[in-house]
Amino acid sequence: MKFRPVFALGLAAMLGASNVFADCGCKTASVVASASACGGCAGSVVASAAASACGSQVTYVEKTVMVPTQVTEKRMVTKTVNKIETREEEVTVVKMVPRTETKEEKYTVVKMVPKTETKTEEYTVHVCKPEVKTKEVTVRTPVTKQVEYTYEVKVPKQVVESVPYTVCKTVYDDVQKTVTVNVCKPETKEVEYTVMVPQYYDEVVKQTVRVPHTETKTGTRKVCKMVPVTTVKQVTKDCGSYQTVVEEVPCAPACAPAASACGCAPVASPCGCAAPAAPATRTVCKKVWVPNVVTQDVTVTTMQPTYSEETYTYNVTVCHDEVREVTVKKCKMVPEVRKKTVTHMVMVPETRTITVKQPRQVQETLTRQVTKTVCETEVRKGTKNVCEYVDEKKTVEYTVNTMVPEVRTRTFNVTTCEKVTEEKTRTYNVTVCDRVEEKQKRTVNVCVPTTVQEEVEVTVCKMVPTTVTVAAASASGCAAPAAGCGCAAPAAKPACGCN
């Protein structure tokens, strides 16, 4: 790469020597070459080569040029490295030490004390008093009549017909078949299993028991007794009876074929009813109620309540707290490994030949007698009872019970409970933890930074001297190349008199 500028200058000189122009008998050549040996200078090299008359030539000179080159060299570098050191340090450790303290506290107990009071109150009682009243009632009396009517009836008749039908008949054929059957065979083996067995132990437990005590108390109560009281009441009753009465009733005109019992005349003309005759009368016998109201005195005995006070004794059960020691049986389950012989069934495949009935269907036509029921319509006559209601008025007596308020007085006992407050003191133990400081030594690993010198390979750019061949000035008057960059200066006019 370093011989490229020299080669370019030599090539330029050779090309310039070949181009000769004749003017006034001298052959000259001008070569302008743009080249730079240092990579930055722009100049023109004019080489004047004369022919046989001038006789000029190019000369080359060796020069030393500084060329940058990358070189790898070793240098010492300062580096910081962490080293682990083991050191001892003193640490304060806090421990909680338990201790038991006895404390006293006051608490309040509330008891309910029963108290009996006697109270008197007035209350209202509604007493029932009967009252007899009379009212007129309309009664509907049923009267039954027979009426003729026509109705249609469906009368069933049976008809026998022959009907053909097809039946599928099943025929069975014997077929030999090989079948694999799983035969169940017993197999016995010993198995271990764990059973939780109960283990009982005695433990003494303190229990608070409510012990009952019987106390006798005296009280007063009201006793109700029923006493018979005889009173006289006036009762009104109807002692009447039914009597037969004969009355004459006018007969209503009617159209009848013959003389009736009421005295109607028979029909005269064949075309219908004749003109009505004069109204006739008939004698009717009927029963009439004849009232006979009688008032009587009746003796009535009633039971009336009578209240009296009496003293009685009753027992009250009061429970007191009592602490007792009771031995309680407790149970805990302990695992225990046991062995047992288990027989289980194992299925073993076995090949067998069996005869199987294989069904097939065969069709067969048969005839059967079918009885059909046909309904025919038939008109019939019948008689039915028709019920009609006739209104009739009656007088009815009824008793009305009237509730009359009555004020009474009664005395009763009321038990109330009063609150009684009582202060008590109890002692209990409390566990308190105290802080105790203690100094201990422990080993700790610490990272300590350390400076170390280390040899490292470094790539450095250095200027290296290099020898280069460069074109120099000729004897024919051409200017010497510019110093430093190798650029040629323009040549002066030749001394041989060429233009």
- Structure-model confidence comparison of residues 197 and 12, the more confident one: 197
CA distances from 183 to 180, 349, 354, 355 (A): 9, 6, 15, 19
| pLDDT of amino acid 290 | 86
pTM of the model: 0.19
Q: DSSP letters along 424-475, please?
A: EEEEEEEEEEEEEEEEEEEEEEEEEEEEEEEEEEEEEEEEEEEEEEEEE--T
Amino acid at 320: H
Q: Which range is least confidently modeled, 173-177, 213-217, 274-278?
A: 274-278
For residues 248 and 282, what is the distance between their CA atoms, to the nearest angstrom?
5
Which residues, 6 or more positions from 322, have their beta carbon under 8 angstroms from its beta carbon? 208, 209, 210, 211
Q: Is 107 exposed, middle or buried (0-12, 13-18, 19+ CB in 10 A)?
A: exposed
For residues 284 and 262, what is the distance between their CA atoms, to the nearest angstrom?
10
CA distances from 228 to 235, 272, 306 (A): 21, 81, 10
For residues 417 and 118, what is the distance between their CA atoms, to the nearest angstrom?
14
The pLDDT > 70 percentage for the chain reads 78
Q: Is the dihedral of CA 435, 439, 445, 451 positive or negative?
A: positive
Element (H, E) at 339: strand 293-472
pLDDT band at 480 (very low <50, low <70, confident <90, very high): very low
Which residue in the block uniquely carries the two structure tokens 């003193």? 90
Is the pLDDT reported for residue 403 higher than 80?
yes
Yes or no: say if 292 and 240 are a contact pair by the CB < 8 Å rule. yes
Q: Which range is least confidently modeled, 31-40, 139-148, 433-442?
A: 31-40
Which residue in the block uniquely carries the two structure tokens 């059960």? 317
Yes or no: say if 383 and 146 are a contact pair by the CB < 8 Å rule. yes
Q: Is 14 helix (H, G, I), strand (E, B) or coil?
A: helix
Please compute the mean of the pLDDT values over residues 125-134 and round it to a whole number. Answer: 83
For residues 338 and 191, what is the distance between their CA atoms, to the nearest angstrom?
8
pLDDT band at 253 (very low <50, low <70, confident <90, very high): low
Is the pLDDT reported for residue 80 higher than 60?
yes
Yes or no: say if 279 and 193 are a contact pair by the CB < 8 Å rule. no
| pLDDT of amino acid 423 | 86
| pLDDT of amino acid 252 | 62
Q: Is 223 helix (H, G, I), strand (E, B) or coil?
A: strand
Is the pLDDT reported for residue 264 higher than 50?
no
Element (H, E) at 274: none
Q: To 10 degrees, the CA torsion angle through 435, 440, 443, 449?
A: 80
| pLDDT of amino acid 147 | 82
3-state secondary structure 144-184: EEEEEEEEEEEEEEEEEEEEEEEEEEEEEEEEEEEEEEEEE
Is the pLDDT reported for residue 306 higher than 50?
yes
Is the pLDDT reported for residue 7 higher than 70?
no
Count of beta carbons in the 10 Å neighbourhood of residue 477: 15
pLDDT band at 53 (very low <50, low <70, confident <90, very high): very low
Q: Is the dihedral of CA 343, 347, 349, 353 positive or negative?
A: positive
Q: Is 127 helix (H, G, I), strand (E, B) or coil?
A: strand
Yes or no: say if 464 and 80 are a contact pair by the CB < 8 Å rule. no
Yes or no: say if 95 and 470 are a contact pair by the CB < 8 Å rule. no
Residue 194: what are its φ and ψ, rounded to 5°? -100, 130
**Per-residue pLDDT tens digits for 290-304:** 888 888 888 888 888
For residues 155 and 77, what is the distance between their CA atoms, to the nearest angstrom?
136
Yes or no: say if 301 and 230 are a contact pair by the CB < 8 Å rule. yes
Longest CA–CA span in the chain (Å) reads 208
**Per-residue pLDDT tens digits for 419-458:** 888 888 888 888 888 888 888 888 888 888 888 888 888 8
For residues 134 and 291, what is the distance between their CA atoms, to the nearest angstrom?
14
For residues 331 and 260, what is the distance between their CA atoms, to the nearest angstrom?
113
Q: Encode burial over 204-238: b for 16+ CB neighbours within 10 A, e otherwise.
A: eeeeeeeeeeeeeeeeeeeeeeeeeeeeeeeeeee
Yes or no: say if 82 and 450 are a contact pair by the CB < 8 Å rule. yes
For residues 214 and 318, what is the distance between their CA atoms, to the nearest angstrom?
6
| pLDDT of amino acid 277 | 53
Q: DSSP letters along 299-331, please?
A: EEEEEEEEEEEEEEEEEEEEEEEEEEEEEEEEE
pLDDT band at 57 (very low <50, low <70, confident <90, very high): low
Q: DSSP letters along 75-92, please?
A: EEEEEEEEEEEEEEEEEE
- Structure-model confidence comparison of residues 389 and 214, the more confident one: 214
